[in-house]
């Protein structure tokens, strides 16, 4: 047994001598550099998406602030309203009541000689004893139209109520301010369009299947040298998103996208034999002369560019004021517009340029996605796991023994900016 | 810098844990990728090459684990196991390439334990933890691995 322990020292010695027999070369470094570069690009992509999200959020905040300022401005300027706009009976009543309030205020100013400023009245401590000359107004406001008041609105309401002795319900004063919000609440329950920009980062891979008609032509080293060296890759989809809501639950979505499918390639093998084909089948392999050995080294991404037109049907379920769950599935027409890269041949293992291979230019894919949406009048942000797969093989059945169906998966973060809303 | 200085040494590690040169090159690339992406976690408690070696070994073991689960259900060569296993050991002058080739021909379960114990200097406790086996298994694999390697070396000699 002790003798056998000498094996350890033999092993140690042998291990120390190995570098002379096996050397790393420049191709190894190139492959590592390529992968590090890819990682860097991926990080850049993530930063780009983060920047896009921040930009969208900031744009949304600015837009919202502008809307809020406009609302306040409308509230202040309502004192100067002299004409009645629109045909909304509730709005007309509100404006009539505001006119009455204005008249009272003008009368008070004349009698007291003070500025029409609530704060200045508080400072001077003067009380307004004059009885307001107005007719009480009755308005019929539905409960769901009484949108939540902001704190600032409440303060204004209290000031008016306290100093002007307005005897109408506070809700009435602010009804006009909230007309917009009420309308939006109602519009959720009606048919409307959404359109905007959608950006979808994803991981893509592919299903491989032997083509039974040509399976006899697959090289015995194909799996080891080629198939196992092709991996998933990071891709993106960018396009115009179009959604039509039939009602508060069902919607239809479509659009036009520029979509990528990709595969990470890391070939590194030596062709030492060639297949002998008889009657459409490989019957034997003949060794190559060592001088004719072919070293295949290729690292990079194969890219397939598509124009995608999805036709999805979806269902949405509100879970709170701003959040909803949307689920959609459907089919996409994917038109292959461009392909870049190289691929190992299934028969002789040599590299073929993708542009020389035959692919189906028109493809059909199916997708399913469900996720959480943050839904605001001008913005929809969705976080949803997405799965999409080609229904047909991307490469041509007549000439390929290995059929490939790309798919994409992952948790997609979707940012739709609504450009318009009715 | 790290590549130029240690690539051959790491390649030696890779060759010991892989079946062939192609796999070793893959492992070398994976290992260096991991080294470069996690270099910030190197705290300087050990030599940089020791830290790198640990990374390469971990990746090799993970690959073997995944590969075994996915594709390879190892078929043991029972005839080989029954081969003559005398304790007569060849002298230390035997060519390193022959030793490494013989090591690579061993079933993974013995090869890995021999590598970890005899060359990388891990204890049975560490090996057991690393491979998810008992210390007893580690010891028996080592013993059997030595016998098998010895038999192979004698045959090659």
Domain boundary among B70, B86, B103: B70
> How many contacts, defined by CB atoms under 8 Å, are there between A and B?
112
The better pLDDT of the pair B4, A350 is held by A350
The answer to whether the pTM exceeds 0.90 is no
Query: For residue A313, what pLDDT is reported?
Result: 92
Of A137, A152, A185, the position where a domain reaches its end is A185
Residue A387 and residue A323 share a domain? yes
Task: Provide mean pLDDT across the span A304-322.
Answer: 90
pLDDT at A340 over 70: yes
Q: Is A416 part of any domain?
A: yes
* B100 contacts on A by Cβ (under 8 Å): 14-15, 18, 21
Domain assignment present for A51: no
Residues B95 and B41 grouped into a single domain? no
Residues A235 and A371 in one domain: yes
Instruction: Please give the pLDDT value at position B104.
Output: 83
Q: Quick one: A119 and A199 in the same domain? A: no
- Per-residue confidence (pLDDT) for residue A136, from 0 to 100: 47
What's the number of domains chain A is made of? 2
| Unique residue bearing structure tokens 């396009």 | A239
Domain final residue, candidates B70, B98, B123: B70
For residues B91 and B27, membership in a common domain is answered with: no
Q: Is the pLDDT of residue A332 over 80?
A: yes
Question: Which has more pLDDT, B121 or A80?
Answer: B121
**Crossing angle for the helix pair B2-17 and B96-105, to the nearest 10 degrees:** 50
Task: Give A196 or A100, the one with higher predicted confidence.
Answer: A196
Cβ distance A268 to B22 less than 8 Å, yes or no, reads yes
Tell me which of A5-19, A304-318, B52-66 is least confident: A5-19
Q: How far apart are CA B117 and CA A59, in angstroms?
A: 61
Same domain, B58 and B90: no
Q: Nearest CA of chain B to the CA of A393: how many Å?
A: 25
Residue A52 resides in a domain: no
Residue that terminates a domain, selected from A167, A185, A203:
A185
Q: Are B92 and A6 a contacting pair at CB < 8 A?
A: yes
Using beta carbons and an 8 Å cutoff, which residues of B are at the interface with A? 3, 7-12, 15-16, 21-22, 24-26, 28-29, 32-33, 36-37, 87-90, 92, 94, 96-97, 99-100, 103, 114, 117-119, 143, 146-147, 149-150, 153
Residues B30 and B56 in one domain: yes
Q: How confident is the model at residue A123 (pLDDT cuts 50, 70, 90)?
A: very low
* pLDDT at res. A37: 81
Q: Do A10 and B16 touch (CB under 8 A)?
A: no
> What's the rounded Cα separation, in Å, for the pair A88 and A203?
52
As given in the structure block, the two tokens for residue A175 are 């009804």
The confidence score (pLDDT) of residue A144 equals 44
Domain shared by B140 and B88, yes or no: yes
- Claim to verify: residue A196 and residue A321 sit in the same structural domain: yes
What is d(CA B122, CA B116) in angstroms, rounded to the nearest whole number?
A: 6
Segment (H or E) for B71: none
Q: Is the ipTM of this complex over 0.85?
A: no
Task: Mean pLDDT check: name the lowest of A79-83, A230-234, A242-246, B41-45.
Answer: A79-83
C-alpha distances in Å from residue A167, one per residue of A162, A405, B36, B96: 10, 71, 74, 102
Q: What is the mean pLDDT of residues A44-67?
A: 72
Chain A residues in contact with B32 (beta carbon < 8 A): 28, 32
Residues in contact with B113: Cβ distance below 8 Å, sequence separation at least 6, in sequence order: B127, B131, B138, B141, B142, B145
Q: Are residues B65 and B86 located together in one domain of the fold? A: no
Interface of chain A toward chain B, CB-CB under 8 angstroms: 1, 3-24, 28-29, 31-32, 35-36, 39, 266, 268-269
| C-alpha A79: how far from chain center | 44
Shared domain for B141 and B93, answered yes or no, is yes
Q: What's the pLDDT tens digit per position in A236-283? A: 888 888 888 788 888 888 888 898 888 899 999 999 988 988 877 888
Cβ separation of B147 and A269 shorter than 8 Å? no
Which residue range is the domain that position A126 belongs to? 81-185
Residues A201 and A176 in one domain: no
Pair B25, B55 in one domain: yes
Identify which of A11, A17, A23 has the shortest CB distance to residue B103: A11
Looking at the structure, do residues B62 and B98 belong to the same domain, yes or no? no
| CB contact (8 A) between residue B96 and residue A9 | no
Q: Among B28, B106, B49, B105, which Cα is nearest to A27's?
A: B28
Q: Tokens for A35?
A: 């992968």
A77 — pLDDT class (breaks 50, 70, 90): low
Residue A23 clears pLDDT 70, i.e. is over it: yes
Q: What is the mean pLDDT of residues A302-321?
A: 90
| Same domain for A226 and A143 | no
- Contact criterion met (CB < 8 Å) for B90 and A17: no
DSSP line for A82-126: -S--SS-HHHHHHHHHHHHHHHHHHHHHHHH---S-HHHHHHHT-
CATH number, domain of B86, equals: 1.10.10.10
pLDDT value of residue B22: 82
A48 found inside a domain? no
Whether A345 is covered by a domain: the verdict is yes
Q: To the nearest whole angstrom, how far is the Cα of B96 from the nearest Cα of chain A?
A: 4
Domain final position from B70, B97, B115? B70
Mark whether A352 and A290 lie in a shared domain: yes
pLDDT confidence band for A96 (50 / 70 / 90):
low
CA–CA gap between residue A297 and residue A31 (Å, rounded): 9
pLDDT greater than 70 at residue B32: yes
Q: Do A231 and A367 fall within a single domain?
A: yes
Final residue in a domain of this structure, among A152, A185, A218? A185
Q: Is the pLDDT of residue A41 over 60?
A: yes
Residues A225 and A372 placed together within one structural domain of the fold: yes
Q: Is residue A256 part of a domain?
A: yes
Tell whether A95 and A175 lie within a shared domain. Answer: yes
Return the pLDDT at A280.
77
Whether B48 and B13 share a structural domain: yes
- Give the residue-averaged pLDDT of A13-33: 75
What share of chain A has pLDDT > 70, as a percent?
64
Provide the pLDDT confidence category of residue A105 given band limits of 50, 70 and 90.
low
The CATH number of the domain where A202 resides is what? 2.40.160.20
Residues B86 and B152 in one domain: yes
CA distance, residue B34 to nearest chain A CA (Å): 10
Nearest residue, CB atoms, B89 vs list A7, A20, A268: A7
Q: What is the mean pLDDT of residues A271-297?
A: 87
Average the pLDDT over A185-205 and give the result: 71
Total domain count for chain B? 2
Write the CATH number for B38.
Answer: 1.10.1740.10
Domain residues for the domain of B23 are 2-70
- A23 located within any domain: no
Average pLDDT, integer, range A389-398: 87
- Residues A168-178 have a mean pLDDT of 48
SS3 for A283? Answer: strand
Mean pLDDT, all residues of chain A: 74
Q: Are B50 and B83 part of one and the same domain?
A: no
Same structural domain for residues A168 and A199? no
In the predicted structure, residue B75 carries a pLDDT above the cut 50: no
- Residue A391 — very low, low, confident or very high, per pLDDT cuts 50/70/90? very high
Query: What count of Cα atoms within 13 Å lies in the side-chain half-sphere of residue A26?
Result: 0
| CA-based nearest distance A229→chain B, Å | 10
Instruction: Say if residue A135 is in the same domain as residue A272.
Output: no
In a domain, A73, yes or no: no
Of A237, A235, A245, nearest to A195 by C-alpha is A245
Across A15-29, A40-54, A92-106, the highest mean pLDDT is recorded for A40-54
């Amino acid at each position: 047994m002790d003798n056998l322990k000498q094996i350890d020292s033999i092993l140690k010695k042998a291990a120390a001598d190995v570098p002379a027999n096996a050397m790393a070369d420049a191709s190894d470094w190139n492959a590592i550099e390529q992968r590090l570069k890819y990682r860097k690009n991926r990080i850049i992509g993530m930063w780009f998406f983060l920047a896009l999200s921040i930009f969208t959020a900031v744009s949304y905040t600015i837009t919202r602030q502008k809307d809020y300022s406009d609302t306040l401005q409308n509230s202040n300027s309502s004192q100067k309203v002299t004409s009645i706009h629109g045909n909304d009976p509730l709005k007309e009543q509100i404006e009539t009541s505001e006119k009455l309030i204005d008249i009272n205020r003008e009368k008070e100013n004349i009698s007291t000689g003070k500025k029409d400023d609530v704060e200045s009245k508080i400072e001077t401590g003067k009380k307004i004893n004059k009885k307001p000359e107005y007719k009480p107004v009755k308005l019929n406001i539905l409960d769901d139209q009484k949108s939540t008041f902001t704190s600032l609105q409440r303060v204004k309401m209290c000031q008016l109520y306290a100093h002007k002795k307005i005897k109408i319900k506070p809700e009435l004063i602010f009804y006009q301010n909230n007309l917009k919000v009420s309308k939006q609440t109602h519009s959720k329950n009606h048919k409307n369009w959404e359109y905007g920009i959608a950006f979808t980062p994803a991981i893509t891979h592919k299903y491989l299947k032997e083509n039974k008609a040509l399976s006899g032509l697959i090289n015995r080293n194909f799996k080891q040298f080629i198939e196992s060296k092709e991996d998933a890759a990071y891709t993106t989809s960018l396009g115009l998103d179009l959604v039509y809501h039939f009602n508060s639950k069902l919607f239809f979505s479509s659009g036009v996208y520029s979509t990528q499918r990709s595969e990470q390639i890391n070939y590194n093998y030596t062709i030492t034999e060639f297949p002998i084909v008889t009657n459409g089948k490989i019957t034997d392999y003949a060794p190559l002369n060592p001088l004719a050995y072919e070293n295949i080294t290729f690292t990079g991404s194969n890219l397939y560019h598509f124009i995608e037109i999805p036709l999805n049907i979806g269902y949405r379920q509100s879970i709170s004021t701003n959040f909803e769950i949307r689920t959609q599935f459907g089919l996409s027409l994917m038109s292959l517009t461009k392909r870049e890269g190289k691929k190992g041949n299934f028969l002789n293992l040599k590299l073929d340029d993708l542009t020389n291979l035959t692919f189906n230019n028109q493809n059909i894919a199916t997708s399913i996605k469900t996720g959480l949406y943050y839904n605001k009048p001008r913005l929809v942000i969705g976080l949803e796991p997405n799965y999409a797969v080609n229904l047909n093989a991307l490469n041509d059945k007549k000439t390929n023994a290995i059929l490939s169906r790309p798919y994409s998966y992952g948790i997609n973060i979707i940012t739709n900016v609504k450009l318009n809303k009715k | 810098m790290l590549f130029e200085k240690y690539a051959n040494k790491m390649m030696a590690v890779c060759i010991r844990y892989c079946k062939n040169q192609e796999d070793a090159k893959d492992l070398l690339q994976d290992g260096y990728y991991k080294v470069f992406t996690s270099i910030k976690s190197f705290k300087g408690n050990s030599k940089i090459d020791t830290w790198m070696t640990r990374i390469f070994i971990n990746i090799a073991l993970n690959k073997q684990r995944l590969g075994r689960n996915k594709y390879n259900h190892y078929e043991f060569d029972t005839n080989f196991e029954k081969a003559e296993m005398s304790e007569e050991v060849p002298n230390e002058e035997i060519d390193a390439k022959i030793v490494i080739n013989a090591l690579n021909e061993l079933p993974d379960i013995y090869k890995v334990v021999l590598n970890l114990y005899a060359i990388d200097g891990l204890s049975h406790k560490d090996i057991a933890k690393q491979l998810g086996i008992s210390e007893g298994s580690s010891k028996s694999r080592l013993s059997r691995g030595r016998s098998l390697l010895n038999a192979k070396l004698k045959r090659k000699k």
